[in-house]
Amino acid sequence: MFSTARTVLRRTVRPLSAAASAPRLHIANPSLGCSRRRLLHSSMVCRHGGIDRPEPGTGIKLTFKDSKGNDIRTVEANEGDDILSVAHEYDIDLEGACEGSVACSTCHVILQEGVYDRLPEPEDDENDMLDMAFGLTDTSRLGCQVKVTKEFDGMTVTLPAATRNMFVDGHKPSH
**Residue 126 CB partners (closer than 8 Å, separation 6+):** 102, 141, 142, 145
Which residues, including other chains, have CB under 8 Å from residue 77's CB and lie 6 or more apart? 51, 54, 59, 60, 62, 86, 148
For residues 26 and 121, the model is more confident at 121
- Note the pLDDT tens digit of each residue in 31-85: 555 555 444 443 444 444 567 888 888 899 999 999 999 999 999 999 999 999 9
Coil, helix or strand for 102?
coil
Q: Which amino acid is at 3?
A: S
Domains of the chain, by residue range, sit at 2-46, 60-158
CATH among 3.30.565.10, 3.40.50.1370, 3.30.70.100, 3.10.20.30 for 60-158: 3.10.20.30
pTM of this structure:
0.66
DSSP 124: H
pLDDT of the residue at 99? 86
What is the distance between the alpha carbons of residues 111 and 118, in angstroms, rounded to a whole number?
11
What was the pLDDT predicted at 56? 84
pLDDT-based confidence at residue 116 (cuts at 50, 70, 90): very high
**What is the model's pLDDT at position 140?**
97
For 131-169, the DSSP string reads TT-TT--TTEEEGGG-B--GGGTTEEEEPPS------TT
**Between vectors from CA 26 to CA 79 and to CA 31, what angle results, nearest 5°?**
20
Q: Which of 7-21, 57-71, 117-131, 156-170 has the lowest mean pLDDT?
A: 7-21
In order of 34, 40, 44, 46, 143, the CA distances from 28 in angstroms are: 6, 18, 10, 10, 25
The per-residue pLDDT for 22 is 45
What local confidence, expressed as pLDDT, does residue 107 receive? 95
| CA gap 30, 36 in Å, rounded | 11
